[in-house]
Structure 1
Amino acid sequence: MSFAGKTAWITGASSGIGAALARTLSSDGASVILSGRDEARLAQVAQDCDSKTLLLPFDVRDEDAMHVATEKAIDWQGGIDLFVANAGISQRSRATQTAMQVYHDIIDIDLTAQIAASQALLPHFAGRGSGHLVFISSVAGKIGIPLRTAYCAAKHGLVGYADALRAELSQTGVSVHVACPGSVATNVSRNALSADGSPRGRSDSVIDNGMPPEEAAQRILDGVARGEREIIVARGGESSWGEQRRTPDDLFDQVAAMVANGYMETIEAEG
């Protein structure tokens, strides 16, 4: 599968994996829509792209702005072929020391906002009967990692939403993919929230020595092109963790078969 001639929309596109996805998709001939809070940084990413780009800056927690952006994104090239829910923020703090507001903030950004953006696009994708929804979770969305209780809760939740959505859409021609990166050399640790909600302000060696964002982006897109529903993007021990918690394809198939056999209609009729 080539992304040439397709239109892709990426949230969290101003840096890291999001920016690398934009550059990679663009080099493959896709038109790319870039979203994030910082328009200047989005513009810098756009300069590195080889194809048409559209900047739609907004805060993912602002649902009104997100709905306006959704209409603009759909109208730009006549439709969206690939949506990547990538915006997010991490955490570095012990649960016993973490303010409850940190949980609210991380779950709002990493889970609720991603669901809201996807829900806004569902009528468009289902109406076209095609397209790819890609959710950037984490290896921490498959297992619990210390100092990341809020982040793990949000990323586990994103996997659950995507898995249920995939089953519901399994008869529509729309595919749903979950990517679970391990340590990738981005600013994720530096930007992570501390116990009081302030930015951590420093990185750590496991992130600094992690997979280059360009490699992570290519692995994600290769997985989408192959039709993989769950894409583990990690090396070494992190890869082993992800693979051990990978959901078997036959289980995905079983749930999709339930939908094909009228499960949703039966439950709805009972209510």
Structure 2
Amino acid sequence: MTFNNKVIWITGASSGIGKSLAITLSNENCKLILSARRKAELEKVKALCKQPENIAVLTLDLAETETHASIAGDAISLFGKIDILINNGGISQRSPIIDTDIAVDRKLMEVDYLGTVALSKALLPHFVANKTGHYVVVSSLMGKFSSPLRSAYCGAKHALHGFFDALRLEHSADNIKVTIICPGFVNTDVARNALTSDGSKQGYQDHMTESGLDVEVFVKRMLKAIKNEKYEAYIGKFEILGVYVKRISIKLLHKLVLRSKVR
């Protein structure tokens, strides 16, 4: 698969991975739709991209699922079709379970899981009618195994795997692809923007995130996985070993995660 002549819709495109995806893909012969809540920030990203005439900005709040059907229609009308939806938008969390208000768990599910599911379902009839389409879901290694202080985030990301594995099975005959990307630590503002126990932002970077993969390096590997139509791709440094350790022994993984003191 190539990106040639494709229309690619990216959520969470105002910063971090989404921003880097937009800038990198603007070098390809494709058209881009950039979505996030902040239009001004999306316009800044568009200004950094090549071929701005091939880029459209479309505001979207993942938590407002009742708007997704209408917004999906607007997205299709921009260039006449959608070939790839990159579900990148979302938020993280850093707080102990015992201290975390249930509203925080609900917020993570509404944005990271239900928002992504609602948007994908809104676009599904278009993919089925065209007998082609590719969902790319930015999950996390936390969608494969868990770590302390990320309970709501882990729950939402695990849920994404269950839903999109089912979608892949149900629509294989419609030539609809699903690629789930599982990042490890990537040096973005995800930790700064993570919600704490009362729903406020953490506001600072943590050491492991700061020492993670450079976002441009991550995006290059991610785009390679999309081109190869991988079912899942684990992208990071040493932390990706957790996926394979879990297959051998959950108890061993438990001990290794505790020993790592990742917080």
TM-score by length of 1: 0.88
Partner in structure 2 of residue 224 of structure 1: 226
Question: What is the aligned partner in structure 1 of residue 29 from structure 2?
Answer: 29
- 1:34-57, CA deviations, whole angstroms, 9 ceiling, x for partnerless residues? 000111111111112113111111
**2:50 aligned partner, one-letter code:** D
In 1, the alpha carbon distance for the partners of 2:128 and 2:22 equals 24
SS state of the match for residue 171, structure 1?
helix
Q: C-alpha displacement at 1:2, in angstroms?
A: 2.1
Out of 72, 76, 79, the position equivalent to 1:77 is 79
- 1:168 aligned partner, one-letter code: E
Tell me the CA shift for residue 245 of structure 1: 5.3
List aligned pairs for 1:170-189, cutoff 5 A. 170-189=172-191
* Structure 1 unaligned spans of 5+: 247-271
Residues in 2 aligned to 1:110 and 1:61: alpha-carbon distance in whole angstroms? 9
Q: Provide the residue aligned with 1:194 in structure 2.
A: 196
The alpha-carbon deviation at position 242 of structure 1 amounts to 3.0
2:156 to 122, 137, 154: 154
Distance 2:105 2:225 in 1: 31
The count of residues paired between Structure 1 and Structure 2 equals 245
Name the CA distance, whole Å, in 2 between partners of 1:132 and 1:245.
Answer: 28
CA shift, 1:244, in A, is 4.3
Partners of 1:64 and 1:55 lie apart in 2 by 20
TM-score by length of 2: 0.90
Alignment check: 8 A CA contact 2:178 2:229 kept: no
Q: Secondary structure at the match of 1:75?
A: helix
Q: 1:160-205 CA deviation, whole Å, 9 max, x = no partner?
A: 1111111111111110110000000100000000111101111101
Q: State the 1:243 CA deviation.
A: 4.1
CA spacing shift, 1:245–1:33, aligned 2, 3 Å = farther
1:7 partnered with 2:19: no
Aligned residue number for residue 45 of structure 1? 45
Question: How far does the alpha carbon of each residue in 1:119-175 deviate from its partner, in whole angstroms, 9 at most, with x for none?
Answer: 000000111111210111000000011100000000000011111111111111110
Name the SS of the counterpart of 2:174 in structure 1: coil
Percent of counterpart pairs with the same letter? 40
In the alignment, the residues of structure 2 paired with residue 167 and residue 23 of structure 1 have an alpha-carbon distance, to the nearest angstrom, of 32
1:19 counterpart SS class: helix
* Match of residue 252 from structure 2: none
Contact 2:127 2:133 in 1 (8 A): yes
Looking at structure 2, the residues matched to 73 and 219 of structure 1 have their Cα atoms a distance apart, in angstroms, of 26
Letter aligned with residue 70 of structure 2 = V
